[in-house]
Amino acid sequence: GGLSDMITRQLERQLQAFQQPGSTGGNTPSKATVQSIENTSTTGSTRKVGANTARPATPEAFIRQHQAAAKAAEDATGIPAHHILGQAALESGWGRRDIRMPDGSPSHNLFGIKATSSWKGKVAEVTTTEYIGGVPRKVTAKFRAYDSFEEAFKDHARLLTNSPRYSGTAAKAESPRAFAMGLQQGGYATDPAY
């Protein structure tokens, strides 16, 4: 009944979307997407999307692709790599929901980190859903953009260790539930069900 249970259920639904191409769930890939996944390169680890990026074809490929960066983030924060990978999977739909730059290239922002006034790097501006007073509203928001996924993991690690909002998150990361509760208590997302 807690936040970690909700995250687990959402991740399971997303995993099923990859495994059950014929289902009609909200996160289920289209028939064209499924065919694209089935026609992956010989490694089977990624599928080409657009001219500028490759997305993981499966949750397992997502984990393989980002495992080293998550481990480096674990070394920097003390937060277990699998917790960090779980959050990246949740935020990005296993790498399928990119925040795109105006030219269509990827922002590499797997964690949905906003670009506040203190951010001095690149920015992707997109329409997103924010909950204002508990009510979902479409808004235009600025998100941080990176040159690589590794930079995104490093910035996420800095955010969780340097921001006063998340000061207790690393210390509470002994379990997925505690980690999720730390994110929720810090106000990581405006969605009340996050």
- From the list 60, 125, 130, 150, the catalytic residue is 130
Rounded CA-CA distance 6/133 in Å is 21
The reply to whether 130 belongs to the active site is yes
- From the list 74, 91, 98, 155, the catalytic residue is 155
Task: State which H helix or E strand residue 139 sits in.
Answer: strand 135-145
The reply to whether 155 belongs to the active site is yes
Taking alpha carbons only, the member of 83, 111, 82 closest to residue 95 is: 111
Rounded CA-CA distance 73/153 in Å is 6
Taking alpha carbons only, the member of 90, 81, 191, 93 closest to residue 139 is: 191
**Token pair listed for 177:** 């539930």
Q: Catalytic residue numbers? A: 130, 155
